[in-house]
Amino acid sequence: MADICLVSMPTLGRAKSPIVPHWMLWLSGYIEQQGYQVDVVDVKSSINDEFSEREKERVFREAIEQAVGSRSPLVGLSGFTEDYRELVKLAREIKKKSDAKIIVGGIHATVSPEDFFLKEDSPFDVAVVGDGEVPLTNLIEAQKDGTHSLEEISGLIFRKGKDIVHTAPQSVVPDLENMPLHPYHKLDMNFYLQPQQFLVRPIYLSGVHIFTARGCPYGCSFCANSGKKVRFRPLDSVIGELRYLKETYNIDGFYIHDDTFTIKSDRVIDFCEKLMALNYRFLWGMEGRVNQFPDSVFRVLKKSGCIQIDFGVESGSQESLNRMKKGITVKDTETVFSRCRAEKIRTYANMLINTPDETEEDVRKTVALMEKIKATVYGICVTTPYPGTEIYDRYVRPPLSVDEYQLYSNNKTYTSIVDPRFRLAAHALSIEELSERLGKRFMLSRTWQIMSLQPLYLRALFRSKRRVQYLSMFVFRLLRRVSTLFQKCLRSLPGSGNVSSKIL
Asked, for residue 179, whether it belongs to a domain, the answer is no
User: What's 472's domain CATH number?
Assistant: 3.80.30.20
Task: Give Cα 7 distance to the centre of its chain.
Answer: 18
Contacts of 369 (CB under 8 A, 6+ apart): 313, 315, 316, 330, 333, 334
| 127 and 209, same domain (yes or no) | no
Among 40, 50, 53, 47, which residue's Cα sits nearest to residue 16? 47
Among 156, 192, 187, 10, which residue's Cα sits nearest to residue 83? 10
Q: Mark which of 166, 191, 217 sits at the end of a domain.
A: 166
User: What's 63's domain CATH number?
Assistant: 3.40.50.280
The pLDDT score that the predictor gives to residue 278 is 96
The pLDDT score that the predictor gives to residue 447 is 44
What is the end-to-end Cα distance of the chain in Å, rounded?
61
- The kind and range of the H/E element at 226 are none
**Is 349 within 8 Å of 375 (Cβ atoms)?**
yes
| 146 and 274, same domain (yes or no) | no
The pLDDT score that the predictor gives to residue 434 is 97
Asked, for residue 174, whether it belongs to a domain, the answer is no
For 298-448, strand residue ranges (E) read 306-314, 346-353, 377-382
Asked, for residue 464, whether it belongs to a domain, the answer is yes
pLDDT in tens, 8-27: 999 988 999 999 999 999 99
Asked, for residue 182, whether it belongs to a domain, the answer is no
Average pLDDT per block of 10 residues along the chain, 504 residues long: 96 92 97 98 82 90 96 97 96 97 97 94 96 96 87 95 94 90 97 92 93 94 86 96 97 94 96 97 95 92 94 98 97 97 94 98 98 95 97 97 95 94 97 95 61 72 89 79 76 60 64
- Give residue 424's identity as a one-letter amino acid code: L
| 330 and 275, same domain (yes or no) | yes
Rounded to whole angstroms, the Cα distance separating 440 from 463 reads: 35
| 159 and 210, same domain (yes or no) | no
Contacts of 181 (CB under 8 A, 6+ apart): 29, 237, 240, 241, 244
| 215 and 161, same domain (yes or no) | no
Rounded to whole angstroms, the Cα distance separating 137 from 31 reads: 6
DSSP 222: T
| 162 and 209, same domain (yes or no) | no
**Which structural domain, as residue segments, surrounds residue 83?**
4-166
- Give residue 470's identity as a one-letter amino acid code: Y
| 299 and 443, same domain (yes or no) | yes
pLDDT in tens, 318-348: 999 999 999 999 999 999 999 999 999 999 9
**Is 195 within 8 Å of 473 (Cβ atoms)?**
yes
| 248 and 108, same domain (yes or no) | no
Among 107, 133, 284, which residue's Cα sits nearest to residue 208? 284
The pLDDT score that the predictor gives to residue 172 is 84
| DSSP characters over 39-107 | EEE-----TTSPP-HHHHHHHHHHHHHHHHHTT-SEEEEE--GGGHHHHHHHHHHHHHH--PEEEEESH
Q: What is the SS3 assignment for 310?
A: strand
| 31 and 151, same domain (yes or no) | yes
Rounded to whole angstroms, the Cα distance separating 504 from 501 reads: 5
Rounded to whole angstroms, the Cα distance separating 9 from 107 reads: 13
Q: What is the SS3 assignment for 306?
A: strand
Torsion sign across C-alpha atoms 371, 374, 378, 381: negative
Rounded to whole angstroms, the Cα distance separating 433 from 415 reads: 9
Rounded to whole angstroms, the Cα distance separating 87 from 112 reads: 14
Angle between helices 360-373 and 330-343 (to 10 degrees): 20
Asked, for residue 82, whether it belongs to a domain, the answer is yes
Domain tally, the chain: 2
| 135 and 262, same domain (yes or no) | no
Among 409, 221, 426, which residue's Cα sits nearest to residue 418? 409
DSSP 325: T
Q: What is the SS3 assignment for 361?
A: helix
| DSSP characters over 159-185 | EETTEEEE-PPP-----GGGPPPP-GG
The pLDDT score that the predictor gives to residue 444 is 60
Asked, for residue 292, whether it belongs to a domain, the answer is yes
Contacts of 355 (CB under 8 A, 6+ apart): 222, 314, 315, 320, 323, 324, 362, 383, 424, 425
The pLDDT score that the predictor gives to residue 174 is 87
| DSSP characters over 104-161 | EESHHHHH-GGGGGSSTT-S-SEEE-S--HHHHHHHHHHHHHS---GGGSTTEEEEET
Q: What is the SS3 assignment for 269?
A: helix
- The kind and range of the H/E element at 287 are strand 283-288
Rounded to whole angstroms, the Cα distance separating 80 from 87 reads: 9
Contacts of 471 (CB under 8 A, 6+ apart): none
| 230 and 112, same domain (yes or no) | no
Among 443, 455, 331, 453, which residue's Cα sits nearest to residue 376? 443
Asked, for residue 150, whether it belongs to a domain, the answer is yes
Asked, for residue 125, whether it belongs to a domain, the answer is yes
**Is 287 within 8 Å of 261 (Cβ atoms)?**
yes
- Give residue 259's identity as a one-letter amino acid code: D
| 152 and 24, same domain (yes or no) | yes
